[in-house]
Structure 1
Amino acid sequence: MQNCENYNHIYIQNVAWGDMDAFGHINNVIYYRYIENARISYLDQLDIFNYPIYVVVAFNSCKYLSPVLYPDILEIRVKISELRTSGFRMVYIIWSRQQQKIVAEAEAILVCVNKDNGIKIPLPNAIREKIIAIEIDSHNDL
């Protein structure tokens, strides 16, 4: 299991009553929405939406470690663990303030595509440099 160190980007997610399912805990699909919120927050930090690219999810996974109940506040910690030619791997840790522990771990592989034709393209160098600066500041090796 991962620890929470070296995650410079933290997205705060309030658990909503409507996020719970019939079993009284947060539905598994909701975790992906939370992860998406954290991912977009990180990508905003890169100013990536001002480039002529889309960043699409090629792979997503989530390992559920403990059920989350309302009320709770989750800290979704995000880092980029691997840079690739046309994209990168993001990893996430979801920390429950109520439970004081990691309740889920997730990862996603994102790929850059041209906005006009949808063809995979290299990650722009300016974005790559911003990622390196953020992750080095967090003492992460890429």
Structure 2
Amino acid sequence: MARHIYDCPLRWSDMDAFGHVNNVVFLRYLEEARIDFMFTQAAEAGAGEFAGGSVVARHEIEYKRPLVHRPTPVTIETWVTKIGGASLTVSYKIKDTHDDGTETVYVTASTVVVPYNLAEGRPRRISPIERQFLSRFMDDAPAAVVAA
């Protein structure tokens, strides 16, 4: 099972008054990783329909430990835990991997994404090409539990 890896830069403005990355900023980090995965990587694999529209139906985030600003990026690992007819669930782990192979995990999260037809103003089905792309990143182990 493949995982999409995105190196996300930390910005000085991401910090809150307590000196660590604000909880709301993590949603932006997840969005950056998801856009790279579903728009950039999918388009390169011939499944570019996601760039035509999608909406977030649900986020679930579990904050594990504070992340403080530093000059090096944080790694966001992304995979798919569910593919339905007209929705999918993406799971994430925001982490650092150390030289000895251990990880420091800051956040685990899941997002339910619904492909959307912008011209018609309604959700759409996942195409066979999109399903094939997503299946390469399928793993049944969610990072955070998302209730259906």
Q: TM-score, normalised by structure 1?
A: 0.83
Q: 1:125 to 1:19 in 2, by over 3 A?
A: same
Q: 1:27 to 1:7 in 2, by over 3 A?
A: farther
- In the alignment, is the contact (CA less than 8 A) between 2:2 and 2:79 conserved in 1? yes
| Runs of at least 5 residues in structure 2 that lack an aligned partner in the other structure | 142-148
- In the alignment, is the contact (CA less than 8 A) between 1:54 and 1:114 conserved in 2? yes
- Residue 90 of structure 2 is aligned to residue 95 of structure 1: no
**Partner of 2:77 in structure 1?**
77
Q: 1:52 to 1:13 in 2, by over 3 A?
A: closer
1:17 Cα deviation (Å)?
1.5
Please show how residues 58-137 of structure 1 align to structure 2 within 5 Å.
58-71=57-70, 72-97=72-97, 100-132=103-135, 134-135=136-137
1:7 Cα deviation (Å)?
5.2
Deviates more, 1:113-122 or 1:35-44: 113-122
- In the alignment, is the contact (CA less than 8 A) between 1:94 and 1:103 conserved in 2? yes
CA distances 1:23-80 after superposition (whole Å, capped 9, x unpaired): 1110011100000000001012112545684111000121101000011521100001
| 3-state DSSP of counterpart to 1:117 | coil
| 3-state DSSP of counterpart to 1:40 | helix
Moved over 2 A (4+): 48-53, 96-100
Please give the alpha-carbon distance, in whole angstroms, between the structure 2 residues aligned to 1:100 and 1:114.
39
Q: How high is the sequence identity, in percent, across the aligned residues?
A: 26
Equivalent residue pairs, number: 133
| Runs of at least 5 residues in structure 1 that lack an aligned partner in the other structure | 1-5
- In the alignment, is the contact (CA less than 8 A) between 1:63 and 1:105 conserved in 2? yes
Aligned match for 2:41, one of 29, 45, 53:
45
Please give the alpha-carbon distance, in whole angstroms, between the structure 2 residues aligned to 1:52 and 1:15.
25
Please give the alpha-carbon distance, in whole angstroms, between the structure 1 residues aligned to 2:76 and 2:37.
11
Q: TM-score, normalised by structure 2?
A: 0.80
User: Could you say what the CA RMSD is over the residues aligned between the two structures, in angstroms?
Assistant: 2.3
**Partner of 2:28 in structure 1?**
33
